[in-house]
A and B are shown apart, each in its own frame.
Chain A
Amino acid sequence: DADVTQTPRNRITKTGKRIMLECSQTKGHDRMYWYRQDPGLGLRLIYYSFDVKDINKGEISDGYSVSRQAQAKFSLSLESAIPNQTALYFCATSDLPGFYGYTFGSGTRLTVV
């Protein structure tokens, strides 16, 4: 099993619909992150969480919300999807301070039509 699992892998949804992307990890890491990747733009940080009681906005949080249900689970929601949210979404985890390497999931390809 993968260390960081994202579901679904692919999703097509309609404009205005609510959608949730889920992420679970078996790394035992406290820190979890959601990134968005658009062609030619690299990865941009949406939200991150240091523990279940901590949620922080990244550089592009507008239109998104998150929930940290447990240490191992971090969900990203689009309350009302719009076409420019079509992208590849990645969840990542990170160890305690002292090691700044991330473990990424395989991504969710979301298309909003």
Chain B
Amino acid sequence: LAKTTQPISMDSYEGQEVNITCSHNNIATNDYITWYQQFPSQGPRFIIQGYKTKVTNEVASLFIPADRKSSTLSLPRVSLSDTAVYYCLVGDPPYSGGGADGLTFGKGTHLIIQP
């Protein structure tokens, strides 16, 4: 599985747009990029997934450049409730003939939103 690197922590303020970048230099052709959010004492929650270019849903946007060696999770107009740990994961979905199942979660980015 491709290794990912993301900042350990970030701070921002309510109402701001927050961008969290993840590096995955050795991403493979079949790998997808997935982001999860985790609140204290809760399981991670799926946010968004993409393969290339831009993906947007009601929660966030995911920007992936052409070389796919990095990705950026964008959270528009954050609130205090967005304070959480955000994980970037890269893996080969089973339908692409990937190997071992089960995504690897790194240490994530601890995002702190202040008033």
Spell out A's residues near B (CB within 8 Å): 4, 31, 33, 35, 40-45, 48, 50, 56, 58-59, 88, 90, 92, 94, 97-98, 100-107, 109
**Are B42 and A100 closer than 8 Å at their CB atoms?**
no
A89 to chain B minimum Cβ distance, whole angstroms, is 10
Interface residues on B, range: 20 to 34
* From A56, A88, A102, contact of B100 by CB (8 A): A56
* Residue-wise interface mask of B (91-115) relative to A, using a CB-CB cutoff of 8 A (1 in contact, 0 not): 1011100001111111110000000
Closest to B33 in A: A100
Closest to A9 in B: B41
* From B41, B91, B107, contact of A100 by CB (8 A): B91
A-B interface, 7 closest residue pairs, ranked by CB to CB distance from nearest? A104-B43, A97-B95, A43-B105, A101-B46, A45-B102, A97-B94, A42-B105
**Are A41 and B49 closer than 8 Å at their CB atoms?**
no
**Are A45 and B104 closer than 8 Å at their CB atoms?**
yes
A9 to chain B minimum Cβ distance, whole angstroms, is 9
Q: What are 5 inter-chain pairs, A to B, with CB distance below 8 A?
A: A40-B107, A42-B87, A43-B105, A56-B100, A104-B43
Chain A residues positioned under 8 Å from B95 (CB to CB): 97-98
A35 in contact with B46 given A88-B41, A97-B95, A100-B32 (CB within 8 Å): no
Chain A residues positioned under 8 Å from B70 (CB to CB): none
Chain A residues positioned under 8 Å from B106 (CB to CB): 42
Q: Complex Cα distance A90/B38, Å?
A: 12
* Sample of 4 more A-B contacts, CB < 8 Å, known A56-B100, A56-B102, A107-B41: A50-B101, A56-B101, A100-B91, A102-B46
A13 to chain B minimum Cβ distance, whole angstroms, is 19
**Are B46 and A103 closer than 8 Å at their CB atoms?**
yes
Residue B72 at the chain A interface, CB threshold 8 Å:
no
Closest to B106 in A: A42
